[in-house]
Amino acid sequence: MAVIPENVKGAVDTDPWLEPFAEVLSERRYLADRWSYDIKHSTSDNSAQSLATFARKSYQAYGLHADPETKQIRYREWAPNAVRAFLVGEFNNWSTESHELKSKDAYGVFSITIPPLESGDFAIAHDSKLKILLVLPDGSHIYRLPAWITRATQPDKETARQFGPSYEARFWNPSVQYQFKNKRPAFERKTDSLRIYEAHVGISSPEPKVATYKEFTHTVLPRIRDLGYDAIQLMAIMEHAYYASFGYQVTNFFAVSSRYGTPEDLKELIDVAHGMGLLVLLDVVHSHASKNVDDGLNKFDGSDHQYFHSLASGRGEHPLWDSRLFNYGSFEVLRFLLSNLAFYIDVYQFDGFRFDGVTSMLYNHHGVGAGGAFSGNYNEYLSKEKSDVDHEALAFLMLANDLVHEILPDNGITIAEDVSGYPTLCLSRHIGGVGFDYRLAMALPDMWIKLIKEKSDDDWKMGDIVHNLVNRRHGEKVVAYAESHDQALVGDKTLAFWLMDAAMYTDMTLAKPLIPVVDRGIALHKLIRLITHTLGGEAYLNFEGNEFGHPEWLDFPNANNDDSYHYARRQFNLIEDPLLRYQHLNNFDKGMQNCERQFKWLNTPQAYVSLKHEVDKVIAFERNGLLFIFNFHPVESFADYRIGVEQPGCYKIILNSDRPEFGGHNRIDEPSSRFFTTDLRWNDRSNYIQVYIPTRTAIVLALAS
């Protein structure tokens, strides 16, 4: 038997199928560990520092920083291809001579310290515009927004007309900065549930406009809390010049989107969320960057390979996203991206991150074409000869997880958006894994959409549904979700839209009789979400509006729709109208979240599925002492239906999708429904109960004691 390298022994013990690939795993971990060692000993005196200290010192050293005591302003920028550098802006009338940065050091870093004015004030006014002017080896001049700028804004119409639409860098130094009042909510990642509400601030209003941080704080946060979620995942926060990119074409990595308000407004949002007991996660985009030159990182110092792989290498741009790809093997790129994470944790008090585009990062083929057809065979990921894994990107992700968990050891959360199923992605670093806490169960939304689009529900295979919901790697947690934000975009439809289509505009009113298509749609919408929630993972995610079956897609203002905001909004007003059925889906989502809060099934061992009846269309399973029963049959209800259960006793209903407040038909007499077990094996369980389970209904039961 081969000797398992000690640095991955824990991973192999968790998943014995990894044993033939232990050497490969060991080499990949060694690269990250070596980088970690080099970073920790990168001090001028070679003394050891933590990864967190390195990241924090970096964002505190680079960019613009105002000293409140001395009133000095320090500026530091890495631009190795430039020969000279000048800071220009409103503060010096855009002079190209008055504020030259010190000559670059051996690493290509320029710096300047600007003394206060004679009056004792800062030499650069708060929120004033500025740029860095770089002189290139051929004598040409280029203007750039500082790479570490913390505030960038859209130009006004007149400026945009004269000079173009590029964003403008601002020196953010308010005299009164927001002071956080609330502690981060406690979260035990090993045992606590994670119910995530994914939101985009800009679309979070019924009005056709860009909503603000303050509006989100006052109107949306209370909704999220009342629904029973315990975490928010904020999209499109990192500054992006193109609104319709959904926030995924980042131009300024340390600046938060100015469309929604100021940095202080975002701090208030997060602080208020913490006061409500809500964790706040950032949808962080380190997988690629916008190609914008004038207001982004692309060709920042005149070269095409400062932060990114060179274009000549064939690795410098994404084949589908029209964006630049980071060179994760560069020390300065590691500094930039790791410090970016520390910056958002420290300055804005984010509690963790959902890492976008992890599949693209992990593989040289970026999950595109034939390379993206993953079957789950371990050789696809771990073969020495055949795998196309980007070892440097993988090492960066390991360091990123190290950093988050070092700064937030008790409650820091990391989630990977990976569709490939890379083994060990969600095993802890100390046993040889990549270190993520969760991965998104990206196959689940695809399964539901495919079923609804291609098959009548009387042809749905219960076994296939269960298989897809439980098909995850042992020991690696996933975030289950029934539909993604991508499926809300123009070109696709939400689950509710696929189920009910035009009837959502004409027949969701209680003033009209319930028609079959709406009856079916509401019933299946609830069942799909509940079975995904209870069987599909160790955490759950919902995209805002989907909880109440938002009737329209997402379409951001662009040239194709005459820059309209009509579809770039969430119509929360629909659930406030007592005559509309949207309230029923909203009520059910609230009931589902609060039931989990009280009885707990997420973040517990995977369920035991005792029944997948293809004729009756019934699924039954137990998880954490609870019994879940689903009847997907379109027309058949069952009286005295026998369900196996392991633990004896008297069971009561704790959640019932057929309640009238959930848009159901109230066919179950809950107050008198008590189910006593019979001591006889059934479906490989020690006992059974007999229940009434109406058509297209789900019930959740718990021991009455």
Nearest to 623 by CA among 528, 690, 700: 700
Cβ(62)–Cβ(56) below 8 Å: no
> What local confidence, expressed as pLDDT, does residue 45 receive?
76
Structure-token pair, residue 320 = 């589908």
Cite the active site residues: 356, 417
**Span 485-509, average pLDDT:** 88
CB 359 within 8 A of CB 418: yes
Residues 420 and 359: beta-carbon distance below 8 Å? yes
CA distances from 650 to 645, 676, 684 (A): 11, 4, 19
Instruction: Please check whether residue 153 is in contact with residue 258, taking contact to mean a CB–CB distance below 8 angstroms.
Output: yes
pLDDT at 234: 98
Fold classified for 608-703: Immunoglobulin-like (2.60.40)
12-47, pLDDT tens digit by residue?
Answer: 999 999 999 999 999 999 999 999 999 999 887 778
Residues 677, 318: Cα–Cα separation, whole Å:
58
Percentage with pLDDT > 70 across the chain: 100
Note the pLDDT tens digit of each residue in 326-379: 999 999 999 999 999 999 999 999 999 999 999 999 999 999 987 788 888 899
Determine the pLDDT at residue 460. Answer: 98
Exposure pattern of 153-190 as b/e (b: 16+ CB <10 Å)? Answer: bbbeeeeeeeeeebbbbbbbbeeeebeeeeebbebebe
pLDDT digits (tens, 9 = 90+) for 254-275: 999 999 999 999 999 999 999 9
Q: What is the pLDDT of residue 402?
A: 98
Question: What band does 157 get if pLDDT is binned at 50, 70 and 90?
Answer: confident
Whether 463 contacts 435, CB under 8 Å: no
Secondary structure of residue 580 in the 3-state scheme: strand
Farthest-apart Cα atoms in the chain, separation: 90
State which CATH number among 3.30.870.10, 2.60.40.10, 3.20.20.70, 3.30.710.10 fits the domain covering 63-146.
Answer: 2.60.40.10
In this predicted model, what pLDDT tens digit does every residue of 513-566 receive, in sequence order? 999 999 999 999 999 999 999 999 999 999 999 999 999 888 999 988 999 999
Q: Mean pLDDT, to the nearest integer, of 386-399?
A: 94
Tell whether the model's pLDDT for residue 462 goes beyond 60: yes
The reported pLDDT for the residue numbered 1 is 57
Predicted pLDDT at 387: 77
Confidence at residue 534, expressed as pLDDT on a 0 to 100 scale = 98
Average pLDDT over the chain, rounded to whole?
95
| Strand-pair category, 252-256 with 279-284 | unpaired
Per-residue DSSP letter, 383: -
Placement of tokens 């200290």 in the chain: 53
Rounded distance between C-alpha atoms, residue 192 and residue 700, angstroms: 20
Q: What is the pLDDT of residue 163?
A: 81
Asked if 193 contacts 230 with a C-beta cutoff of 8 angstroms, the reply is yes
pLDDT exceeding 90 applies to what percent of the chain? 90
Using DSSP's 3-state secondary structure scheme, residue 699 falls into strand
Q: pLDDT at position 577, please? A: 96
pLDDT in tens, 83-118: 999 999 999 999 998 999 998 888 999 999 999 999
Against a cut of 0.95, is the pTM above it?
yes
Give per-residue pLDDT as tens, 554-575: 899 998 899 999 999 999 999 9
